[in-house]
Structure 1
Amino acid sequence: MTFRWSEFQAAEPDFAATVRRRFDPYKHHVLGTLRKDGFPRLSGLEVTFGRGELWLGMMPGSRKARDLLRDPRFAVYANPGSGTDMGGGDVRIGGRAVEVTDPDTLAWFADEVGVPQPFHLFRAELTEVVRTTVEGEALVLRIWRPGEALRTMRPGKD
């Protein structure tokens, strides 16, 4: 089961706002895809939120785009920021990337982000959102999956 960003927001508005706050201050994040040989590939990526969606845009023919066209599974990690301050925690979104080829949507995205066409555009369908924080001395994970309640785990205690 997958959810679009707007469905995640509707299901868990406070958690979605917290996740979004981790992405907004920084332009560049890290995208994980699967190479043809099955090994992971990490690439820099700008993510865009708009029209109730999480968008992944990339240069035409890029390796990460080819990875997603072959196998749509991805993980995108929010930029942790500088130094050792992990204010807001560590956030990861996992899901499936759906290629978008609709000319009107591509034109909207080009105007919204200010990029020239052509480019690959993917809409994220979420399968998991995870936020990891340290509270006092404890590691705390908050995990959301479509159709499930938000869970809080404290490794070593749960």
Structure 2
Amino acid sequence: MASWQQVAADNPEFAARVKSRFDAGTNKTMATLRRDGSPRISGTELGFVDGEVTFGSMGGSMKLLDVRRDPRIAIHSPSADPPTDHPEQWLGDAKLAGVAVEVPVPEDSPFPGSGSFRVDIREVVLTYVGNPADHLVIESWDSHHGYRRRTRK
């Protein structure tokens, strides 16, 4: 697994485009695992702080309970529809998967019982429409293969 700093050092251009997709809106979608192993989708905010991907969770939330029980997560960037008349101009969607590692909550936090986490990254993916708009482009990074670019018709 890796930190965001490692992803960015390995491929700065890819990391910048992924970060821009996550920064395109406040609310991201996070998948966690329920006690019975089924998925749960929750809204979350995400930060890129000191070379790490970070997020927090309110005390007592199901997301917090899920992550403390099983720290495997996936997070999806905010989504926008591709332009109807020029789908190749769509900036795409970004996703990352990894393991949430709890870190100390700031002492001045106004949220008692909350959790604060950094993500040990297993995989980062950026998907968008190619030019011409007859295929998808899937760019990814993981700690075993590094950066890869594939297309799919």
Is TM > 0.5 for Structure 1 vs Structure 2?
yes
The match for 2:149 is 152
Amino acid at match of 2:111: Q
The match for 1:98 is 101
Amino acid at match of 1:15: F
Q: Does 1:141 align with 2:138?
A: yes
Instruction: Give the counterpart of 2:115 among 114, 120, 125.
Output: 120
Deviation at 1:154, TM superposition (A): 1.6
Give the unaligned 5+ runs of structure 2: none
Please list, as runs of the form range in 1=range in 2, the aligned pairs for 1:1-158 lying within 5 A after superposition: 2-81=1-80, 83-85=81-83, 87-101=90-104, 106-107=106-107, 116-118=110-112, 119-135=114-130, 136-155=133-152
Deviation at 1:123, TM superposition (A): 0.5
Partner SS for 1:154: strand
Deviation at 1:155, TM superposition (A): 2.8
Partner SS for 2:146: coil
Partner SS for 1:150: strand
Give the unaligned 5+ runs of structure 1: none
Deviations, residues 4-40 of structure 1 (Å, cap 9, x unaligned): 1111111111111000100112110100001111110
- Give the distance between the partners of 2:146 and 2:30, measured in 1 at CA: 26
TM, length-normalised to structure 1: 0.85
Deviation at 1:84, TM superposition (A): 4.3
Instruction: Give the superposed CA RMSD.
Output: 1.7
- Give the distance between the partners of 1:10 and 1:116, measured in 2 at CA: 34
